[in-house]
Chain A
């Protein structure tokens, strides 16, 4: 089917595997409009979604069989959760309820039939939390295993549209990341080049979580929080990775206008491959000779060190005081204007 053409509604099938269902829960927090109204606007018909649809048991198996036979064309396949391949490649850690077929086999088969394939969340994109530690369940992403192309479908996989798996990473996803991608697919406006090097939509991945951070002034002066409730920058002591992490959390904002950093805790890098296994505790900043190891993306280290030393020396007392307080204790000076005549 040509992008943007035809009166036929596009079909969407949503499957879940090795994850927590949290991306669906986040998605249904979509607002103005709600998620179901978005589907109406996009002309997308839900073939089945595990949390929303009426169909159950044999009705679901019938829908999947009709997709297999080609009786129902499959435009968009969404997978939420990682693909679980263990133990020993058998897929027995997740067999489809009702059929006992390993989910990994069903996912691979349906991905081959879909016009577009979307990995919803970091688990489906890269493996995510389920692949944490020794990964004895052999969890992987649809087309990536961590940051390595491959995953379940292999590095050369292309959906029938010619596009790779679209990786809407995030743990969880922001509802608008999914909504805007679906709308662009429906409108036929998602172009080659709209995905980044990890096949994430650039609509959110062209930003860093640092962009729009309300703690920016503290960052500029390296005025750092000493504990989680403090107002200062969370990078130096509390593990914040926002300067390196691709997402627009502090521009777009969550649940009516907030974000992790605005609520007092560091960015843990949840849109990035491998976030589940940092080399350090999440709330600690790894340092070498007192300098954080993970410096901002694209910034020469020597410059960073020089600027940090300079700005630290220039820190206004107000910023220094507020950085280690839980509320603003020293407000900006009120400039006295000309007296009224």
Chain B
């Protein structure tokens, strides 16, 4: 048996270290450490509640709007604010653009470059993959940066800039757009759709989202245009490397529900555990800080009563991350969870066949891109220029609120309490806090820690490539995790 520490772990957002125990050429146990602590809970205490909209997006530069959205919803709930339809549509658009851009960044810049590594030089697909996906030098990186930057013009049009916009507010959005801007948003979406259909999928988005089973996906891949698309190339190498047998966690999936509109969601709220749908009971969410460098908190707490007091010398601790649990159990969040809970037939079939794993996490992210972009188009068309986008929210004196949303990486929650017009407590549980949770008080490892067990370690490998695929398949955002 040997031990090793993997880090600095890059092409993830923020700082990450993985400790491994290796035996007989495979990972026997893993410990995930989030080594950066900033303390937003302390920074927020005692402020005017509206100021949360300045601080919380700055928790994270890649999920910035998601943090704004959770804060805006928590404040709106605390103040019982009714948001005009235009405001809801624009908030969904801004959040959707961030989420899709994050999936795009993950696939092209963070995840795929690992397959261009020399360790795969003997694979039949290596030449093609290296030319397109090699970090920094591959053809895709430049092409995607341009497509992404053009897509982000929608952030300019609707919210001023990205990241760290103040345009999303409890009462809607601050910029009332006219018909001309609405048309420009639609034109920009059309340009982005073309990139996706020509490069990522080699097919119309509607054909991709209509794939309803593994059998249909297998048939689709045989088309010449699909096989040569970036998705097709991924499917081919995923088969060759057995990525669907890598990185299985609990198969217990959570989604808070994504893109609220008309009293419902575009993607359902709920839990799916080993194939069975369950209702989500948000009172059953707890955070346990026993493996984190925190002062004792007398057992797991609901985030609305959470405490975050750092203690760098806490006994038995190995990370700045807490351990969130739902009904005491470990869950996985993210695009795969969202699409499973929502019941997308292809994703359900994939999970039924091989569970939550590296391949299925990536496939779910791409299917989600194909599902969200047409929704963005519909929301943009649904805007009624000259109708209100915004109402002023009342000043809060004493109130509580929660903002539960879906960021690109999964379920994000803000819990806020206000006393005498000031923030009394503000607790945040981010998507990667769930996925990269440490062990809880009973010693049960978090989702990524479980997923790493069994990962093969090749002869002579220092930073095992399988470990990298598994970790990056979750698209971790470490700055959100601890904040």
Contacts and interface: CB of A to CB of B under 8 A. Distances in A.
Given A22-B61, A254-B156, A264-B175, A36 B136 contact: yes
A263 B114 CA distance: 39
A29 B175 contact: no
Interface stretch (B42-50, B267-275, B339-347, B399-407): B42-50
Interface residues of A, number: 80
Contacts of B55: 129, 132
Interface of B: 5-11, 13-17, 33, 35-39, 42-48, 50-51, 54-55, 58-62, 64, 105, 109-110, 113-114, 116-117, 134-136, 141-142, 145-146, 148-150, 152-153, 155-167, 169, 172-176, 178, 310, 312, 320, 385-386, 388-390, 392, 462-463, 468, 479
A31 B156 contact: no
A307 interface: no
B166 A327 contact: no
Interface stretch (A87-95, A154-162, A293-301): A87-95
A88 B44 CA distance: 21
Interface secondary structure of A, over-half rule = loop
A20 B35 contact: no
A30 interface: yes
A54 B13 contact: no
A60 interface: yes
Contact of B167 (A36, A54, A136, A263): A263
15 contacts: A52-B141, A54-B114, A56-B468, A93-B36, A97-B8, A97-B9, A137-B39, A255-B156, A256-B152, A256-B153, A257-B157, A263-B165, A264-B175, A265-B166, A281-B50
A264 B160 CA distance: 8
Interface in A266-282: 266, 268, 270, 276, 281-282
Contacts of B38: 18, 84, 93, 130, 137, 139
Nearest to B143: A34
Given A20-B64, A327-B176, A57 B135 contact: no
Contacts of B54: 268, 282
A48 B8 CA distance: 11
Contacts of A61: 8
Contact of B174 (A54, A59, A265): A265
A251 interface: no
A129 to B, nearest CB: 5
A22 B58 contact: yes
A254 B173 CA distance: 18
Given A21-B13, A25-B62, A57 B7 contact: yes
A319 B255 CA distance: 48
Given A35-B145, A51-B109, A56-B8, 13 more contacts: A19-B479, A30-B145, A36-B142, A53-B11, A54-B114, A56-B9, A94-B35, A94-B37, A96-B7, A229-B390, A255-B155, A264-B167, A281-B51
